[in-house]
């Protein structure tokens, strides 16, 4: 079975692409720099919003809400920012044309490129939860850790799918950096990270529920308060559905934008 899998062409593309992405990352970024980033980003993002909440609502109960929401959302640096820039990075390095000219299926190719960022996103959220408990004093005494681990896994996977969808724009645009930056932080405003989605204007709420992170933050808060996997199932299914939808839409957009960029000769434009 293993032998058959390793012979399966899309799987070989996936493994090879993941291997390349991992080696490329650490030839560009020193491991100690990666660790610093992993430890610093969640701390400062969480600190900013927790202290802001403390200033606005002293003694309020929103500290745990804000800390847990930001611990989840900080993974967007990996799942949105890094993934969305995949195509642009290939452009800047001059490797997009050789890559696109291969007959390799685009789905395992770019899924392989993003695999490392799924683990990176999960590690970032885990660090965020450590800060939530030990720095910002969130009560985890009733938490269901199995459910929380599942929420972290599903959120990283689905948000990576969402990031891939946004990244497909990078094939056609001069850079996906602008989109990456917008969506990196937009979640803070519309995904129930700092305040409930219900407080947003009605017309914004459907947009919120089209992003997997909205379900992820809701499920994480429930898991911290003791909800088990069965109780979280409806929320997690919603998250999986939006993530799967993003992946399908992303793949179709990718194919479409690739054809458009080939026709207009903009593949190398940056």
Binding site for other proteins (CB under 8 A): 28-30, 33, 36-37, 40-41, 44-45, 47-49, 51-57, 77, 92, 177-178, 180-182, 184-186, 188-189, 194-195, 199
The count of other CB atoms within 10 Å of the CB of residue 152 is 25
Write down the least CB distance from residue 135 to other proteins, Å: 9
| For other proteins, the closer CB: 31 or 103 | 31
| For other proteins, the closer CB: 86 or 157 | 86
C-alpha radius of gyration, the chain, whole number: 19
Q: Are 160 and 118 in contact (CB under 8 A)?
A: yes
Write down the least CB distance from residue 255 to other proteins, Å: 26
Alpha helices in 57-211 (DSSP H): 62-73, 76, 83-84, 86-93, 96-100, 106-134, 145-167, 169-172, 177-190, 205-208
| For other proteins, the closer CB: 19 or 57 | 57
Write down the least CB distance from residue 28 to other proteins, Å: 7
Rounded CA separation 14/112 (Å): 4
Write down the least CB distance from residue 196 to other proteins, Å: 11
| For other proteins, the closer CB: 165 or 180 | 180
256-264 long-range contacts, CB within 8 A, separation 24+: 257/168, 257/169, 257/171, 257/172, 258/100, 258/106, 258/171, 260/172, 261/171, 261/172, 262/100
Nearest to 135 by CA among 211, 202, 67, 181: 67
Exposed, middle or buried by CB within 10 Å (0-12, 13-18, 19+), for 121? Answer: buried
| For other proteins, the closer CB: 131 or 251 | 131
| For other proteins, the closer CB: 8 or 26 | 26
Write down the least CB distance from residue 45 to other proteins, Å: 6
Write down the least CB distance from residue 68 to other proteins, Å: 15
Q: Which residue shows structure tokens 């800060």? A: 131
CA angle 214, 89, 264 (to 5 degrees): 100
């Amino acid at each position: 079975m293993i032998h058959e899998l390793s012979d399966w062409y899309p799987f070989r593309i996936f493994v090879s692409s993941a291997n390349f992405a991992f080696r490329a990352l650490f030839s560009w970024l020193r491991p100690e720099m990666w660790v610093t980033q992993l430890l610093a980003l969640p701390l400062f993002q969480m600190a900013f919003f927790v202290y802001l909440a403390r200033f606005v609502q002293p003694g309020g109960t929103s500290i745990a809400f804000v800390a847990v929401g930001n611990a989840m959302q900080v993974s967007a640096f990996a799942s949105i920012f890094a993934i969305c820039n995949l195509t642009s990075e290939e452009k800047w390095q001059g490797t997009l044309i050789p890559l696109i000219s291969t007959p390799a299926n685009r789905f395992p190719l770019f899924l392989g490129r993003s695999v490392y960022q799924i683990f990176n996103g999960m590690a970032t959220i885990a660090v965020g939860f450590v800060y939530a408990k030990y720095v910002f004093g969130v009560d985890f005494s009733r938490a269901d850790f199995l459910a929380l681990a599942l929420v972290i896994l599903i959120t990283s996977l689905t948000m990576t799918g969402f990031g891939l969808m946004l990244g497909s724009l990078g094939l056609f645009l001069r850079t996906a950096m602008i989109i990456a930056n917008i969506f990196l932080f937009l979640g803070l405003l519309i995904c129930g990270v700092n305040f409930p989605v219900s407080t947003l204007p009605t017309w914004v709420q459907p947009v919120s529920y089209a992003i997997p992170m909205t379900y992820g933050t809701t499920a994480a808060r429930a898991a911290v308060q003791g909800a088990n996997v069965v109780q979280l199932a409806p929320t997690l299914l919603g998250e999986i559905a939006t993530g799967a939808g993003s992946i399908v839409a992303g793949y179709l957009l990718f194919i479409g934008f690739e054809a458009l960029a080939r026709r207009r000769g903009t593949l190398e434009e940056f």
